[in-house]
Amino acid sequence: MRMIHAPLSEEDVRSLRLGEVVGISGPIVTARDEAHMRALEKGPENSPGCLRGCVLFHCGPIVSESDGVYSVVAAGPTTSARMDKLEAEMIRRFGIRAVIGKGGMSSEVADAMRECGCVYLAAVGGAAVTYAESLTVTDVEWKDLGMAEAVWEMDASSFGPLVVAIDADGDSLYESVRKRIRR
């Protein structure tokens, strides 16, 4: 498993090969349906700075809080396809370098990835304890959206395994599997 370090440069991202298994260290930021909608409505200037150029994690974690200290109980990926209609614009306006999620994203999103230099990293759905073990919360924004929908800023340490499932050329592992499927 190759280790990559966030924040990621365009060069870092373009060096990742389709099907490669990687782990990531450094800052990552969670956002789901509600955070995407609010970010696009407010724009990069009026949204949390952590979203710009970030590694975006499609995740609604379980976080416990005691005496103002947060700890991540469970944090696996959520279904990325729900953000299909929002992600291309997110990538273009916020300069997202990597999206971590599960299940893949539309060709429209893959086009934005090719254009801007961004990749889709597939996390293992449901492997929430394994992923939580390598995450610590550094801050939280838009907490009013609720635990699952808030923007959690986290520090990742060897966070993985992640499969490069859409590369910065816009090639998608899901698309090639879909074409080969026997019905």
Partner 1 sequence: MIQLPETTEDIVVRLLRLANTKLPEDIGWALEAAAGWETDSIAYSQLGAIMDNAKKAEFLGRPMCQDTGIPVFYVSGRFDSSVRGDIERAVRRATAEIPLRPNLVDPLTRENTGDNTGLGAPFIHYRPTDDDFLQIDVLPKGAGSENMTRLAMLNPADGIEGIQRFVADAVLDAGGRPCPPTVVGVGIGGTSDRCVELAKEALLRPLDDRSRDKSIRDLEEGLFVKLNGSGLGPMGLGGSTTVLGVRVKKEGCHTASLPVAVNIGCWATRRASVRIYRDRPPEFTQGVFR
Q: Which residues here bind partner 1, judged by CB under 8 A?
A: 19, 21, 34, 59-62, 64, 73-76, 78-79, 81, 102-104, 122, 124-130, 132-133, 146-148, 161, 163, 165, 173-174, 176-178, 180-183
Q: How far is CA 83 from the centre of its chain?
A: 11
Which CB sits closer to partner 1, 45 or 144? 144
Which CB sits closer to partner 1, 118 or 135? 135
Which CB sits closer to partner 1, 10 or 84? 84
- 36 in catalytic set: yes
CB-based contacts of 125-129 (< 8 A; 24+ apart in sequence):
125/76, 125/77, 125/79, 126/76, 127/76, 128/61, 128/62, 128/74, 128/75, 128/76, 129/74
**Annotated catalytic residue within 32, 36, 58, 97:** 36
Residues sharing a CB contact under 8 Å with residue 182, sequence separation 6 or more, in sequence order: none
Positions marked catalytic: 36
